[in-house]
Amino acid sequence: MALGALIGAYQEDDSGGLRALFPLAGQTLLEYQVRCVAAAGAAPVVVVVERVPQALQDAFERLRIDGLSVFPVSDVQEAVSRFEAGASILLVGDGIAPSAELVAQLAEDAEPVVATVPDDESHAAFERIDGGSRWAGVALVDAHLLGSTAAMLGDWDLQSTLLRRAIQEGALRVPVAEDAGEPLLVETPEQLDRFQQRLIAGSRAARTDWASRYILPPVEDFVTEWLLETKVRPVWLVLIALALTVGGAVAFLKGWPVVALVLLVVSTPLDLVAARIASVRLRPLATRMWTRVALWPAAGAALLALGIWQARNGSGWGALVAAISAVAFAEAARIERGALSVPGDLGLMSRRNAIFLAVPFAIFGAWTAFLVTLLGYAAISFFFVQHVRHSNPS
């Protein structure tokens, strides 16, 4: 069954600006709403407006550039004409900041459903449904109900009237579950700050190496929160991480090992920050994005560059052999592991683990000792993964 979305963008705040244009995670609230419903599979997305200031027009243009089908309408009949007969429609209230999980949950329902919150003091701004509940600002209705509502609407508010009719038609009322994230009805820009903090906290993914689990979180959190308010794109951060890694390889070849290590250390949180910003903005990075894929071989090239520099400066061919062998074992462990869940994976060889392991050796200038240690580390990781895989063939 086709799925579309209807979003309101006409309510004004005390200063006369549109609530839909309140800033959230480097974009507007409206852009966040559109990306939420688009992530749930809704297309087209129809936005009910009374006027289109330049800032709103710019928001529409950014969404279209990202390939999202967004149609601003000021006429109710035009809104109806945008949806296929029999389609389901996600209804998102004006000024509502829902969680993506809640929107996705409602989108999966086959029948009309209205999300509700308790009728208490903390939800006094939400529209009351009955003596015990209020509308959470998100609902799923059908196109037929939208059409019949538009036919008798007159001067009434479209979304409010549509909600009332959905309830009269017997739409299922579903209290918002805690794990789905309670929506926020925004009346001032400051109210979105706490919601944004919730999004940032929810963007933390599982960490699979000890460097990202125990060393990087404070830096990662700070940089994520700082960059989220900017127009910086996550793909730029991954590209910068790749450039720093390649720069580290060049610095090793030039005989600047400390500079190289600094560049590599700076690169370690950037792809994690990029993934979190992309997640909060509901524009996840492609798994096979070439810059992300290239980080691993670029780190291998940096290690080989260190081996070449050491071989040229007194350590002989042994340093180069150790570097080549470490790269080979690390790549073999990566291939052998695949998607296998390995117990104790935090301790296995990884790009970030190898970089931070180099720090104490760099303090004493013991680069050859580092290469030998890394060779042992990579070999142990490979044999451990191989043992786990062959012990659990499934």
Average pLDDT of the chain is 91
For 269: left if phi > 0, alpha if psi spans -120 to 50, otherwise beta; the answer is alpha
Please, is 259 exposed, middle or buried when counting C-beta atoms within 10 Å of its C-beta (0-12, 13-18, 19+)? middle
Distances (CA, A) of 138 to 60, 62, 141: 21, 24, 10
pLDDT band at 239 (very low <50, low <70, confident <90, very high): very high
pLDDT at 155 over 60: no
Is the model's pLDDT at 178 over the cut of 70?
A: no
CA dihedral for 223, 227, 229, 233, sign (positive or negative): negative
pLDDT digit string (tens) for 284-316?
A: 898 889 999 999 999 999 999 999 999 998 778
C-alpha count within 13 angstroms, C-beta hemisphere, residue 167: 19
Domains of the chain: 3-195 (3.90.550.10), 208-391 (1.20.120.1760)
Tell me the two tokens of residue 186.
């925004």
- Residue 118 belongs to what H/E stretch? strand 113-118
- Considering only CA atoms, which of 276, 280, 246 is closest in space to residue 264? 246
Q: What is the DSSP string of 25-53?
A: TTEEHHHHHHHHHHHTT--SEEEE-S---
Cα angle 304, 307, 313; round to 5: 145
Under the banding of pLDDT at 50, 70 and 90, the label for residue 377 is very high
Q: What gap in Å lies between CA 266 and CA 264, rounded to an integer?
A: 5
Dump pLDDT digits (tens) for 62-109: 999 989 989 999 888 888 889 988 889 999 999 999 999 999 999 998
345 has a pLDDT exceeding 90? no
pLDDT of 152 over the 80 cut = no
pLDDT value at residue 144: 87
Q: Is 97 helix (H, G, I), strand (E, B) or coil?
A: strand
Q: What pLDDT score does 154 carry?
A: 59
Encode 9-20: b = buried (16+ Cβ within 10 Å), e = exposed.
bbbeeeeeebbb
Question: Do the Cβ atoms of 270 and 255 come closer than 8 Å?
Answer: no
User: Which residue's entry shows tokens 């959190």?
Assistant: 221
pLDDT of 372: 96
pLDDT tens for each residue of 206-237: 888 999 999 999 999 999 999 998 889 999 99
CA distance 92 to 176: 14
Measure the CA–CA gap between 177 and 117, rounded to whole angstroms.
9
Helix (H) and strand (E) counts for the chain?
Answer: 16, 11
